[in-house]
Structure 1
Amino acid sequence: MQLQPQHAAYETIRERAAELEDLGVDVLFNWDHFFPLNGDPDGPHFESWTMLAALAEQTRRVEIGALVNCNSYRNANLQADMARTIDRISAHGTGTGRFILGIGSGWFERDYDEYGYEFGTVGQRLDALAANLPVIKERWTKLNPPPTRKIPVLIGGAGEKKTLRIVAQHADIWHSYSDVATLEHKHSVLTGHADSIGRDPGEIETSVGVLDSIAHITFPEADQLHQLGATMFTIGLNGPDYDLSVVPDWLAWRDQKNASNT
C-alpha cells in the first residue's frame, strides 16, 4: 500500500498505517514530493524520509519505503546514510531491518523550482541516478554500524533506453504502472539489457501499481500481470481519510495466489 502523504493530518496517516499492518499488508510506501500531486496543489503535504523514520519506529512487521525517493533531492552518500539509519530503526524486535530504497530520477518540476534544485533534462536526471547508485551502495559498505541486511533497491520507471538499463544494472525490484501488453513488452526490453551485462533478469522482482489515481487494474488483469511475473502489487491511497475498503479483497487475492504457488 502507498499512503500518499497529501491532504491528510499526520495523525490519520499514523492510524491508517497501524490498521494496514494489522490487516496484513506486506509493504507500506509513501512518496517523495513536497506538494500534492493531485487535488488542491497547495493542500496539506508531508516530507517522505522523516515520515518513514517514524513509521519504522511505529511498525513491527511491514517493510517500508518511498515509491519512490527522488535521487535529485539529496546527496548520494546522505541517501545511503539515511537509508541505513531507517533500516536500523526498523530492526527493533527482530534485528533485521525492513527498509526498501525506492528510488527514481525525479520528474515533478514544482518540487525542483520551489526547493531550489536544478531541474535539467530527463537525460541529465537519469544520468545522475546511474552515477549515484554505485555511490550509495559503496557507502553502505563503509558505514558503522552497517545496514542490517542488503537493503533492497527498487527503481521506478519504464523508459527503455536508460531507465530499464539502470534497472538491469542496479535494481532488486523494478516498479512501473503497466497494463498487460505494456508489461510484456517492457519485460522483453529489460531482459535484453540484463543479457547485455550478463545478469539474470530473474533476479529482479517485478512490481506494478494496480489501483490509484493513475492505475485501475481489475483482478482479471492482475491475474495476467502475475502470470507475466509480477509479484508485488501496490494500491495507492489518498487523503484525507484513506479509504481501506478495497484492501481486504486484494489481500484475499494475494493469499489465493500465494496458496496456489505452494
Structure 2
Amino acid sequence: MPRTPPPRFGIMTAPSQVEYQDVLRVWREADAIPEIEHAWLFDHLMPIGGDPDGPVHEGWTLLSALAAQTRRLRLGVLVTSNRFRPPAMLAKIAATVDIVSGGRLEFGIGVGSRPDIALARREYDAHGLPFHDTAHAVGSLAEACTVIRRLWTEDEPFDFDGAHHRLTGAFCNPKPVQRPHPPIVIGGRSSATLRIAAEHADVWNIPGGDIDDVVRRGALLDRYCAEIGRDPGSITRSIHLPVSYDEPGATRAAIGEAIDAGFRHVVLGLPAPYPDGVAQWVVDKLISASA
C-alpha cells in the first residue's frame, strides 16, 4: 500500500496594507527554514480588507522580485484572477517568473473575484477591466488553462479560436524551466470550477473554514475526475488556513482537521503586520506542533 506523503507547509503574505520590505523580510526568513516549503501572494489590485485606500502591490510583479531574492521556496500567486490578464500574456509572465526563480513557480489560477464582494468588484471599474458574468468567467478560465498549457509545451506557433479567447500565431519563447510545465494550482469551490480542476489541475486549493463543506467539495472533485477517467489521487489537495497569532491552538486544530481530511498542501495565511521572527514562530507554534 503506498505511503501517505507528509504534509507540505507554506505561508501566504497578502501584499495589501504592507510595504515591500515587510513581505521581503518574511520571505527571506522563510527561505532559510526547511519546514516552510512554499510561499504565496494574492491577486488583487485594490484592498479587500482594512483601509480601502491603503497600499496593494501587484502580485506577479512582486512575485518576480521575491523570486530573485529567494533560493529555495516554491512560490506562487494564490490564485491569479483570470479576469485581469489575457491568458497568452499571463503565460509569458509566468514563464518569466519560473525562469527568474530557477524553476520554483507553482502556477495558481482561478475564475476571479465573486461579484458579491463589493470591495473586490470595484477594482475592475477602477482599472478599466470588464466584469463579465459567472458563466463567461468560468468558460474563459477553461479556455485559458488550455491556451497556457499549450504555450508552455508546444514548439510551434498555433492559432486558437475559442468562445472567449482568439489567438493567431500564439507562441511562448522562452519556455518555463520546469518540464513539461509548472504545476497548475486551480483555486475555488464552485461546481463549475471543480470541473475545470478535474481536467487541468495538478493541485486544487480551497479556503478553509467549514471543514465539512471542504470535504464535500473534495468528494465532488473526485466525482468529476471519475467522470473523465482521471485518477483523483493525481490532484494534490491544498487548503488555505488563516493564522491567529493570539490563539495558535485554534490554528493547530484547523491544521489537524485538514490533514485528517486528506489535505497534504497547507497554506498558512499570515495577517499583517508581521511580527519579528514570524516564520520561525510558524514552525515552532504551528508546524512542529502539528507533526
Query: Which TM-score applies when normalising by structure 2?
Result: 0.80
Matched, 1:175 2:235: no
What amino acid sits opposite 2:135 in the alignment?
G
Whether the 8 Å contact between 1:64 and 1:99 is mirrored in structure 2 is: yes
Matched, 1:233 2:266: yes
- Cα deviation digits, residues 17-59 of structure 1 (max 9, x gap): 1112223311110011111111101111110111111111110
Matched, 1:6 2:24: no
Q: Which runs of 5+ in 1 are unaligned?
A: 92-96, 257-262
Relative to structure 1, is the Cα distance of residues 40 and 242 closer, same or farther in structure 2, using a 3 angstrom cutoff?
Answer: farther
| Bigger proportion of residues as helix | 1
Whether the 8 Å contact between 1:5 and 1:238 is mirrored in structure 2 is: no
Secondary structure of 2:215 counterpart = helix
Matched, 1:29 2:40: yes
Counterpart residue number, 1:94: none
Shift of 1:212: 4.5
Whether the 8 Å contact between 2:43 and 2:81 is mirrored in structure 1 is: yes
Counterpart residue number, 1:115: 127
For residues 226 and 251 of structure 1, the distance between their equivalents in structure 2, rounded to whole angstroms, comes to 12
Secondary structure of 1:128 counterpart = helix
What amino acid sits opposite 2:52 in the alignment?
P
Taking the TM superposition and a 5 Å limit, the aligned residue runs for 1:1-262 are: 1-24=11-34, 25-91=36-102, 97-107=103-113, 108-141=120-153, 142=155, 143-149=172-178, 150-160=181-191, 162-178=192-208, 179-212=210-243, 218-241=251-274, 244=278, 245-253=281-289, 256=291
Tell me the matched-pair count.
247
What amino acid sits opposite 1:223 in the alignment?
G
Secondary structure of 1:73 counterpart = coil
Shift of 1:220: 3.3
What amino acid sits opposite 1:77 in the alignment?
A
Whether the 8 Å contact between 2:17 and 2:54 is mirrored in structure 1 is: yes
Shift of 1:86: 0.6
Counterpart residue number, 1:260: none
- Cα deviation digits, residues 166-192 of structure 1 (max 9, x gap): 110101111112332112211211111
Shift of 1:242: 5.3
